[in-house]
Amino acid sequence: MERNSEKYILTKEMEWEELGGGVSRKFLGYDNQIMMVSVKFEKGALGSPHSHFHTQATYVVSGKFEFEIDGVKQTVSAGDGVYIEPNLLHSAVCLEEGQLIDTFSPVREDFLTGGGVSYFGDKD
C-alpha cells in the first residue's frame, strides 16, 4: 500500500500525540521508504528495551538521554546522533527533559495504524 504524508508539515498547527509515560510525538513526514517523528520526553520517561526490523537514526534536539544499544550504554545530549541497526535491542532513559527526532526506514506502518508504541517495549 502506498503511503505519503503531506508535503509540508507545520508543527505549530499540530497537537502532540500523548503516548503515556511522559512521551508524546508528532509525525514530520513519511512515505513507504522513510519516516521522521518528533518525540518529546519528560524527565525520567523511559523508552523500554525493544527491537524492530527498521533502521533508526535519531537526532537529539534538546535534553539528555542515556541510550543502551545491544548492551552498550552512552549518554547523549543536544546536537548528538544515534544510529540503531535493525533488530538490535535498544532503550533510552530521559535524564533531562528533551526532544528527539527519530527517522526510520522503511516507514513504521505500525505507528500509522495506531500500534507500535515501541517506546514502551513492544517488539515489532
Give residue-wise pLDDT tens across range 43-80.
Answer: 999 999 999 999 999 999 999 999 999 999 999 999 99
**Residue range 72-101, pLDDT digits in tens:** 999 999 999 999 999 999 999 999 999 999
Asked whether the predicted pLDDT for residue 112 surpasses 70, the reply is yes
pTM of full prediction above 0.85? yes
How many whole angstroms separate alpha carbon 44 and alpha carbon 59?
19
Burial class (CB in 10 A: 0-12, 13-18, 19+), 112: middle
**CB count, 10 Å around CB of 8?**
6
| Domains, the chain, with CATH or none | 34-109 (2.60.120.10)
Indicate the SS3 state at residue 111: helix
| Structure confidence by residue, pLDDT tens digits, 6-24 | 999 999 999 999 999 999 9
Average pLDDT, the chain: 92
